[in-house]
């Protein structure tokens, strides 16, 4: 199976940052390149959609 066959999302973006070793200061100070490269934005949107009742596939 290829690594890009599926995606796994954390339900808590803060826990995702901690798991990836991303310091909170990087997020709080708006290091946009880090946010995009690590997929935090995508994870945040997925979490928000699930909270609104959408089912990820």
pLDDT digit string, tens, across residues 14-40: 787 788 787 878 777 777 666 556 577
Q: Which two tokens stand for residue 28?
A: 């709080």
Look at residue 28 and tell me if it is in a domain: yes
Residue 8 — pLDDT band, cuts 50, 70, 90?
A: confident
What's the domain range around 18?
10-47
Look at residue 57 and tell me if it is in a domain: no
Measure CA of the first residue to CA of the last residue in the chain; give whole Å: 17
pTM (two decimals): 0.56
Look at residue 52 and tell me if it is in a domain: no
Structural domain count of the chain? 1
Look at residue 43 and tell me if it is in a domain: yes
Residue pair 10/19 in contact by the 8 Å Cβ criterion = yes
Look at residue 25 and tell me if it is in a domain: yes
Rounded CA separation 45/48 (Å):
5
Residue pair 9/43 in contact by the 8 Å Cβ criterion = yes
Residue pair 19/12 in contact by the 8 Å Cβ criterion = no
């Amino acid at each position: 199976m290829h690594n890009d066959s599926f995606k796994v999302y954390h339900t808590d973006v803060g826990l995702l940052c901690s798991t990836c070793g991303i310091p909170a200061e990087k997020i709080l100070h708006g290091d946009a390149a880090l946010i995009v490269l690590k997929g935090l934005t995508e994870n945040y949107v997925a979490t928000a959609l699930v909270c609104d009742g959408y089912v990820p596939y």
